[in-house]
Copies of this chain bind each other. A is one copy, B any other.
Amino acid sequence: MLRSVVMSCELCDLSIKENVIFSNRLFRIVHVYDVYYPGFIRLILNRHVKELSELTTDELSLVFEAIVKIEREIINLMQADKINIASLGNVVPHLHWHIIPRYFNDRHFPNPIWGNVNNDSYIVNNDLLDKEKLLIQNLRNKFN
């Protein structure tokens, strides 16, 4: 995997372990372990780019195509009530996209996962953890 390395950027830091599902020259697709959000996937640009519009037209197509493909797999396998997709990067200004299955009863719903907690007693059930395993497997198959 090619990464441009920017000092102090945690998405450039090769020593930080990630659960990489797929990678090519442009980006990697990572499973984010989040105790409340099984199926949380992140697409991370390999080179240190801050904003989306710094990418070329071809790169943009590849990124968007991958996001839609990830969303489709999440919808197929996770039976989420809503998919949240976001490129924020305020803390780590290195282009990355969050793709997150959301459920009506989850910890923050209807808030974004960065908002206030609405269901403090929410515990992810095993069925969802099984689906997450299948999602990771299917994403590996679809992308590789």
Interface residues of A (CB under 8 A from B): 50-53, 60-61, 64, 67-68, 71-72, 75, 82-91, 93, 102, 109-112, 114-116
Contacts and interface: CB of A to CB of B under 8 A. Distances in A.
A30 B84 CA distance: 20
Contacts of A61: 61
For chain A, what secondary structure do more than half of its interface residues adopt (helix, strand, loop), or is it mixed? mixed
Given A87-B84, A87-B85, A93-B82, A68 B60 contact: yes
B82 A53 contact: no
Nearest to A111: B114
A109 B84 contact: no
Given A112-B112, A114-B112, A72 B86 contact: no
